[in-house]
């Protein structure tokens, strides 16, 4: 129940009404028995600074950031973690006592299902489809895994070059290479991990797949195909991948784990109920 002592959390974006974060976080907050409420805030780009100052004034404890504010929020923060600096985007902000701090929990979310596989990734090649916002978290994640090579595929040569240049100061930059889609067929036989960081195959375009069955057949044994999309589950890509004997991972766990990491940060709890968060998301996505 909301009362005089209830603390505020939330998510800002434009649009925001389709965000799954409120239902996921409020279910976890209820299970933990905490006196918090997590609200959606529809904030236009022009109002971002005013909103952040207002959040400080009304003592919001922390908030998530979604499209289109993940980069622009950075100018309003007092501290940004190295991982968020490297990615160039912040999805989680908290009040640190005298200012706002920001980080990016998408890397934690992305890595969670891969770490469960308990593999040695050091001799492996990761192929990342797309070079947008999510691909940045994926590249940072693959670097943390220690992948021997990270090959990023894009359809725009200028964007690919910009993407490559943005990582040049990072220690793993020598493992990163960028390629156009025409080169993909020759790269696939080394692809131990393939990540779809494009919207191809997302509802309502559910018949689309970034890779065909023939292309997936080129992957090495025990390859992992990871689609960041969570509507539908599974995507056509993942159905085809399983048919070709690959291990499939969809985007739901990334969504759960990036949220759990944010809630743990805000509430200082290490027992965030991920099973409840997963369950409410599955229910919501079924409707
Ligand atoms: P984004 O910044 O718009 O980037 C999308 C990338 O996909 C760009 O490189 C874009 O290329 C490329 N692309 C778009 N349509 C394409 C097509 N038809 N063929 C080939 N490439 C195409 O989007 P994002 O935020 O990175 O999100 C990408 C996907 O990840 C979305 O499906 C999103 O739902 C998912 N995601 C999931 C989670 C999760 O928690 N599971 C988190 C974040 C994102 P151009 O730049 O040339 O257009």
pLDDT at 287: 74
Please write the tens of the pLDDT for every residue from 160-200: 999 999 999 999 999 999 999 999 999 999 999 999 999 99
Supply the residue whose CA is at minimum distance from atom 40 of ligand 1.
Answer: 255
Give the model confidence (pLDDT) of 262-280 as tens digits: 999 999 999 999 999 999 9
Helix 21-32 × helix 252-267 angle, to 10° = 50
Q: What is the pLDDT of residues 218-237, one digit of tens each?
A: 999 999 999 999 999 999 99
Q: How far is the CA of 132 from the centre of ligand 1 (A)?
A: 6
Average pLDDT over residues 146-151: 97
What is the rounded CA–CA span in Å between residue 117 and residue 151? 21
Ligand 1 proximity of 162 Cβ (cutoff 6 Å): no
CA 172 to centroid of ligand 1, rounded, Å: 23
Region label for 130, one of left (φ > 0), alpha (ψ between -120 and 50) or beta (otherwise)? left
- Tell me if residue 70 is catalytic: yes
Residues in contact with 50: Cβ distance below 8 Å, sequence separation at least 6, in sequence order: none
| Nearest protein CA to atom 27 of ligand 1, as residue | 134
pLDDT confidence bin for 286, thresholds 50/70/90: confident
Indicate the pTM of the whole model: 0.96
Torsion on CA atoms 136, 138, 142, 148, rounded to nearest 10: -70
Q: Is the CB of 199 under 6 A from ligand 1?
A: yes
Whether residue 1 has pLDDT greater than 90: no
Average pLDDT of the residues in 201-208: 96
């Amino acid at each position: 129940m909301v009362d005089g002592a209830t603390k505020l959390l939330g998510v800002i974006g434009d649009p925001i009404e389709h965000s799954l974060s409120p239902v996921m976080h409020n279910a976890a907050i209820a299970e933990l028995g905490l006196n918090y409420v997590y609200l959606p805030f529809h904030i236009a780009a022009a109002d971002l600074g005013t909103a952040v100052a207002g959040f400080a004034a009304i003592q919001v404890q922390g908030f998530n950031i979604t499209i289109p504010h993940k980069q622009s929020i950075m100018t309003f923060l007092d501290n940004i973690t190295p991982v968020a600096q490297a990615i160039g985007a912040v999805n989680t902000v908290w009040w640190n006592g005298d200012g706002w701090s920001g980080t990016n929990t998408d890397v934690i979310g992305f890595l969670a299902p891969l770490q469960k596989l308990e593999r040695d990734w050091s001799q492996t090649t990761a192929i990342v489809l797309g070079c947008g916002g999510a691909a940045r978290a994926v590249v940072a994640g693959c670097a943390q895994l220690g992948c021997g090579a990270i090959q990023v595929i894009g359809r725009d040569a200028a964007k690919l070059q910009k993407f490559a240049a943005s990582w040049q100061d990072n220690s793993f930059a020598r493992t990163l290479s960028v390629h156009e889609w025409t080169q993909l067929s020759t790269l696939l036989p080394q692809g131990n991990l393939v990540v779809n960081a494009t919207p191809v195959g997302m509802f309502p375009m559910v018949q689309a797949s970034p890779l065909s069955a023939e292309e997936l057949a080129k992957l090495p044994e025990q390859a992992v195909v990871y689609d960041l999309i969570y509507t539908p589950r599974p995507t056509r890509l993942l159905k085809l991948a399983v048919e070709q004997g690959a291990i499939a991972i969809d985007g739901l766990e990334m969504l759960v784990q990036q949220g759990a990491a944010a809630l743990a940060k805000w509430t200082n709890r290490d027992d965030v109920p991920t099973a409840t968060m997963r369950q409410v998301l599955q229910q919501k996505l079924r409707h």
